[in-house]
Amino acid sequence: MGMPMTELQLHPMDVYNICLFLRRHNEQQGPRSIRFQLTPNQPVKLLFEPWNQVLECKRSPFHGAQETEIRLWGRRRLLTLERLIPLTSHFTVRLLGTGLPSFFIAHMGDMSFTLGLSGWTANDWSRMGNFDLMAPRENVDELTQRRVFAALQERWYESSESLSQRLQLERSIVESSLSLYTQAGRVIYDLSKNVYRVRELSREPLPMSRLRFDNEREALADNFIRADLVTIGDVDYRDGHLRIAGEVLDNAVSYKPVIVLDSDQRLIEAQCSCHFYVHNKLYKGPCEHMLAIRRQHAESQTIASTTTSVTMRHGQQ
């Protein structure tokens, strides 16, 4: 869950009004979505399609930094929260983006309940979405991975930020390490508390070496880099976002992907001319060409940093 999310709070009465609207309206045709219309310091507004009726959540202002609109499907499943309303102090809503998974967390004192919704019913994001490829994915050596996991075992649960400070490691390195252990079935992410927890799902740990590539596109990206088929073009850092343009030669065809990373090295925007992106956009994760320029840029930065460090040491001597 290292991906960027839009977070907002909903008052229990506003959730009650959402459920009431869904109870009173039964759509006969699509679209069957809710549009979250979010303006900083203004009440959250929900537009229900296909009626285009707006529900204003007057008790729930949006405290985000920028105006945005996110479209959510699977709204009937929100009725699951109906019975929890009398017991809940407030609801936390986390939205990954239009058509992407969303999470509703009911806070009930010492207990919480998390409802996760996929983008579309036909979009099996847990198996096919590969959204973890959009989270920080750095090359981390095995010794560092073990160090991060051992530190987590000491306290059983901890946030990546706390682990980063305690181990004096970059947060992206900690999150990349924990992501691998999550895939190996040894760590879970607690969305309600924003912490990672140690939880072994099998008696024998899954082989980490076989989990290096979570997806075929990652393996293809690695092949492009090894074959020296990736070229980094314009790199622009502006407003806390890093924009990387590059070129990837794939079967004698030149593709020119562009990606935008936030300050936590998470993919927030991207485009490419390949068939995979044109057909799926980012709903099934980034294409192999985006992954290739991302890794190529990261590796070039690591080499540059190492060279500078060695030069400075020689200069001091």
Task: Say what percent of the chain tops pLDDT 90.
Answer: 50
- From CA 57, how far away is CA 16, in angstroms rounded? 10
**Distance in angstroms (rounded) separating the CA atoms of residues 196 and 157:** 5
In angstroms, the CA 244 to CA 30 distance is: 38
Looking at residue 125, its pLDDT comes to 36
What pLDDT is attached to residue 208? 58
Express each pLDDT in 65-107 by its tens digit.
889 998 888 889 999 999 999 999 999 999 887 777 889 999 9
The pLDDT, as a whole number, for residue 167 is: 94
Q: What is the pLDDT of residues 199-214, one digit of tens each?
A: 887 777 666 556 566 6
Q: What is the pLDDT of residues 10-65, one digit of tens each?
A: 999 999 999 999 999 988 776 788 999 999 999 999 999 989 999 999 999 999 98
Average pLDDT, the chain: 84
* DSSP letter string, 241-274: EEEEEEEEEETTEEE--EEEE-TTS-EEEEE--S
Q: Which residue carries 């203004």 as its tokens?
A: 42
pLDDT over 80 (residue 238): yes
